[in-house]
């Protein structure tokens, strides 16, 4: 019996997914979580074989939760099930250790097949995602787009401008956001990159090829 943990911050979707999987042979839903932090705690308690993970959630996003859950000898397999099909989300999930990536419009049999494949140690992607992965490597997709996968798209934009020696006021003007919002993004970037100041963040950004020559 494959033990499954469902992680999604939308109660209706989460319950619907649990109900859908409850009638599938050899699968059992052992728990539900609505945040990334809950997912990590419940996985340690319930020991699921597969975690079906959303990306955008309160407290801790699905990318960071996946990173914390994977990598150990007895770690569960993680399948991302989300609305987001952008390259940053897809490759961030892969870097975090996800073995599968599906979109929320996937049919029941596709989700079930992905869970069973992940439980068997295989990697599986929805058709749209598989095409993106193939195209990325076929065109020599740069590491810059996949650098710092824990950052949101907006945080990455702020970091690129930091690396280009732009001040907070200039960043706020160029991105058309408030100065307070810029400060919040900078603080989040420091935390995620594990640095204490702008200079250290800029060094890491330039090492990854972000706006190094600007």
C-alpha dist (Å) from residue 111 to 78, 104, 170: 12, 9, 45
| Average pLDDT for the chain | 86
Q: Which CATH class is domain 151-207?
A: mainly alpha
Element holding 202 (H helix, E strand): helix 198-207
pLDDT for residue 142: 47
- CB atoms closer than 10 angstroms to residue 208: 17
Distance CA 202, CA 80 (A): 31
Portions of the chain given CATH number 3.40.50.2300 = 2-138
> Do 160 and 211 form a contact (C-beta atoms < 8 A)?
yes
Dihedral in degrees, nearest 10, Cα atoms 86, 141, 61, 66: 120
Residue 102, SS3?
strand
User: Please, where in the chain does CATH 1.10.10.10 lie?
Assistant: 151-207
Just give the CATH number of 2-138.
3.40.50.2300
Share of the chain above pLDDT 70, in %: 90
pLDDT tens-digit series, residues 107-135:
999 999 999 999 998 888 887 787 767 76
Q: How many CA atoms lie within 13 A of 195 on its CB side?
A: 17
Span 47-82, pLDDT tens digits: 999 999 999 898 889 989 998 998 777 899 999 999
The residues with which 101 forms a beta bridge, in sequence order, are 80, 125
pTM: 0.65
């Amino acid at each position: 019996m494959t033990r499954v943990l469902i992680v999604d911050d939308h109660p209706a979707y989460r319950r619907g997914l649990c109900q859908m999987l409850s009638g599938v042979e050899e699968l059992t839903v052992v728990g539900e979580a609505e945040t990334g932090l809950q997912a990590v705690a419940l996985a340690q308690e319930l020991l699921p074989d597969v975690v079906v993970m959303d990306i955008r959630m309160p407290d801790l996003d699905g990318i960071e939760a996946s990173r914390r859950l994977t990598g150990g000898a007895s770690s569960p397999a993680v399948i991302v099930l989300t609305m987001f099909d952008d390259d940053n989300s897809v490759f961030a999930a892969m870097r975090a250790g996800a073995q599968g990536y599906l979109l929320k419009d996937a049919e029941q049999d596709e989700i079930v097949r992905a869970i069973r494949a992940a439980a068997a140690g295989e990697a599986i992607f929805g058709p749209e995602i598989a095409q993106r992965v193939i195209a990325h490597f076929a065109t020599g997709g740069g590491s810059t787009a996949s650098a710092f996968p824990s950052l949101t798209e907006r945080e990455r934009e702020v970091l690129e401008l930091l690396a280009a020696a732009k001040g907070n006021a200039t960043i706020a003007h160029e991105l058309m956001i408030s100065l307070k919002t810029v400060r919040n993004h900078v603080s989040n970037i420091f935390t995620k990159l594990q640095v204490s100041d702008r200079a250290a963040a800029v060094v890491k950004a330039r090492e990854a090829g972000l706006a190094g020559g600007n």
